Structure 1
Amino acid sequence: MANNKKRLLNLITIFIFIISLVGCNSNSKNSSKKVEEKQGIVTQDTSNKKNGDLSYSDKNSTNISGKLKVHYINVGQADSILIQQDSHNMLIDAGNNADSNLVVNYLKKQGISKLDYVIGTHPHEDHIGGLDVVIKTFNIDKILMPKISTTTKTFKDVITAVQNKNMKVTAPKVGDNYKLGGATWSILAPNNSSYQDLNNYSIVIKMKYGNNSFIFTGDAESISEGEILKKQLDIKADVLKVGHHGSHSSTTDAFLAKVNPKYAVIMCEKGNDYGHPHKETMIKLQNKKITTYRTDECGTVVATSDGTKITFDKKPGTYNYNGNSNTTKNTSEKTKKTDTYSTSKNNKSNRILATGNSSSQIPQTKGVGVYITNTGKKYHVNGCSSLKKSKISISLEKAKSQGYGPCGNCHPPQ
């Protein structure tokens, strides 16, 4: 009998000890979790990670405060987007060279003196033209640009501005996650290191704030969109910045279906030479009943998220294309022309790693080649119908310096 009582007491003691261990372990996990939340740590959610899925868990997602503001700045036929959250700021592109003061003054009016991130999506003048002045004007924590260089004066000006501030350029890596206040953002593209068209080097990102999300595409075209889809990346979003100013070269049916946005924003200039936004794109948006905002019709558009719902400061734009009503007839020959260009083998841009050392020399490439004629003040790509009578080879930079403008029929490089 005494032995049985002793055995029972031992079992009870062991049981109590096990319970205390479980309790301690639980408290330890909760304590660790609280520390992570306090530090704002962003962690990968591996429980649902499959085939490159970029889904991740933001420890602050349920404790967001304030609002996220996305300013789609009206810089005409160009891109410039300011994102703000809880005194943290991020700029994606800065318009053309001529837009430098416009962008800088807009940022200053928002009370900005520092930018956490500056992204030059790709080295086309209508995206990085104003970046050098932005870099000179504001304090910046991190600059991201793709692994590609050109010898245009615009690109050189940006690199010089970076070097003069003793800064580094960070190359985008698909899957990298960053924080902007209570928001998180991840890189979706580029997914390759060799493209014929500079547009496909565009840095594409997805930003999440609470239950809301935004995708910013730069000028990424169907090739880049296809690579994102192939990797099965998480691209569902409430708001899509439509690629390449609404060109038919972007926003494929499959990509649009996967993003499945409630809202779309198109950044283009009224009466532009390229016929943006194109008929094909606008029909897709209309058929899916996606509420669309356009800088050519609405001016600067500001979207505000509280983590649950998104509001816009302007009324939606129309589904018109090329400046005309959305009918079945062709509005102009411009909508039939290809909206991309390819560099020749001799002019193909050399790809570089983004500068890990701000003082390092940037490998340079021959300037993008275009053609001019004996008459008129337009530059063209090879194969343009306007080149039948004469065809004079010239660099894009030199053509611009001599007062030549882009041909609206063949959409040469900007």
Structure 2
Amino acid sequence: MTTYEMVRTKAEAAHRAAGELAVTSTVIKNKALLAMADALEAGAAEILAANAKDMEAGRANNMKESMLDRLALSQVRINAMAEGLRQVAQLEDPVGNVLDGRRLPNGLTVTKVRVPLGVIGIIYEARPNVTADAIGLCVKSGNAVILKGGSEALQSNIVIAGILTQAAEAAGIPAGAIQFVDSSDRQAVTDLIKMNGLVDVVIPRGGAGLIQAVVQNATVPVIETGIGVCHTYVDAGADYDMARAIAINAKVQRPAVCNAMETLLVHEDAAAEFLPQMLTEYFAAGVTIIGCGKTQAFDKRIRAATEADWATEYGDLRLSVKIVSGLEEALAHIAKYGTKHSECIVTSDYNHARTFQQRVDAAAVYVNASTRFTDGFEFGFGAEIGISTQKLHARGPMALPELTSSKYLISGDGQIRG
């Protein structure tokens, strides 16, 4: 069987199952999610053994530390995946929710309701937790799913997908609704994103290269999840202790993820008081600082920033720092180099906070809080498919409502149009 034939067979199976899953009861879906969570924890040893093989191969192939961090699983991370499934089970089922309704002058009743998208193809890199998150959210929202993970996480994903599929089908989810492409052939991605008529939408989740390759080559509709060149702007007169805590968390807590800060902007009137201790904390945490000329004057270890640096998602312990003249320059910098993901201002000025939130064009805009909170689990959604940085069809953490479309139900008693 060729790669195309394999992908098409999975897409056809998912397409057949999608109609049945769309009308599967909330009770059965929730039962399946809880069974899947239990199965994940019960299968932890098998998952960790598979993950160890992926990690060994990653190290042998000189995988970046940031990618290894995304790839690595532990008992804690498996438990978090299971907890995410349990949270999704507790959330309201979006399918069938009434969005609007009216009675027309001619007596027709028109009701707008949520319905599943159908078959969702999800293409992602070295994040085995995405396998659990995606399956859980698609099951709850009534969508069949075809997963194509990166080759670097293949062994982990095969085991996780197998465990979850078996538990879901045993609990009543239609056979074929969960598909995993267990091939490392890149041709599988090319084939999946062109399965018009069988796949309703594709969601890429990963680095800029993967996302752009899907966006530029897909014939199936794409929901773009973006990279995160996220900024924190420290305003003059901010609470500098709070600002330092936020700036450390945003960069250091988990630098490999898309909501980590990549550029710190500092008001020139705050620099003398704020930056020396901030830089000391960053250097102690192993952060490499890349800065503008004014920032370099604070420490000879700071490398000069290039134009490319301002636009780079490092995904590791590197940080760009720029001293700006004020809010307007900060806004202009973010507008030029930001990726519309997550942006933060630390300020004690209410008007500056309001201006920042109104004028910054991003999926999540923070005042006095770390960008690391842009996450479906943290927002109370249980999990997420990804962070959409586009404006159609969804924006921000994509959870259950974002995995639905709508249709109109019209009822009458014999009306005809004149």
Q: Which has the higher contact order (CA 8 A, sep 6+)?
A: 2
Structure (1 or 2) with the larger CA radius of gyration: 1
TM-score, with length taken from structure 2: 0.26
Task: Give the alignment's TM-score, normalised by structure 1.
Answer: 0.26
